[in-house]
């Protein structure tokens, strides 16, 4: 079964997704629905889903590294840079860091990301160029 995270470009907070994931982790019953992450704007989306971060997400899913250091080796990058990127992904709920002794193991719960990327602004359907 494929687990999909849906991402939308729209204003809003991320608490709904974080609350939902926390409830699932706690073994609580959660209403059926698709987990959705709202990203504030296109600029933020581009920063979060830049190629270096996508490479990290793919490596985490494919190799299930035991630590940030192992993840760094997998992507051939310096651990401090990888940690900075992983922390950014963690802030958006895209990666979870599980404490295992002195190491922090990066984990993702989904297998794919589905992006809803509107090409128009939600301003009542009016084209901003004709205003």
Q: What is the pLDDT of residues 96-126, one digit of tens each?
A: 999 988 889 999 999 999 998 877 765 554 4
Q: Which two tokens stand for residue 18?
A: 């974080």
- 106 close to 68: Cβ distance less than 8 angstroms: yes
Distance CA 59, CA 117 (A): 24
Closest C-alpha to 36, from 22, 18, 57: 18
CB 62 within 8 A of CB 112: no
Per-residue model confidence (pLDDT) at position 120: 74
CATH of domain 4-119: 1.10.10.10
The pLDDT assigned to 28 comes to: 75
The model's pLDDT over 11-24, given as tens digits with 9 standing for 90+, comes to: 655 555 566 667 76
Annotated domain spans of the chain:
4-119
CA-nearest of 30, 23, 7, 14 to 112 is 7
Q: What is the spatial distance between Cα 5 and Cα 7, in angstroms, rounded to a whole number? A: 6
| Element holding 112 (H helix, E strand) | strand 112-116
Closest CA to 116 of 25, 1, 12, 22: 12
CA distance 124 to 37: 23
| Mean pLDDT value across the chain | 83
SS3 21: helix
């Amino acid at each position: 079964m494929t687990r999909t995270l849906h991402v939308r470009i729209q204003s809003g907070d991320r608490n709904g997704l974080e609350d939902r994931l926390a409830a699932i982790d706690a073994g609580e019953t959660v209403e059926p629905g698709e987990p959705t992450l709202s990203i504030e704007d296109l600029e933020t989306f581009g920063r979060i889903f830049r190629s270096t971060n996508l490479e990290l997400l793919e490596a985490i899913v494919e190799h299930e590294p035991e630590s940030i250091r192992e993840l760094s080796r997998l992507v051939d990058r310096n651990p401090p840079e990888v940690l900075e990127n992983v922390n950014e992904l963690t802030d958006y709920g895209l990666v979870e860091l599980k404490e295992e002794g002195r190491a922090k193991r990066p984990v993702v719960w989904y297998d794919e990301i589905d992006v809803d990327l509107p090409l128009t602004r939600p301003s009542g359907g009016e084209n901003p160029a004709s205003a």
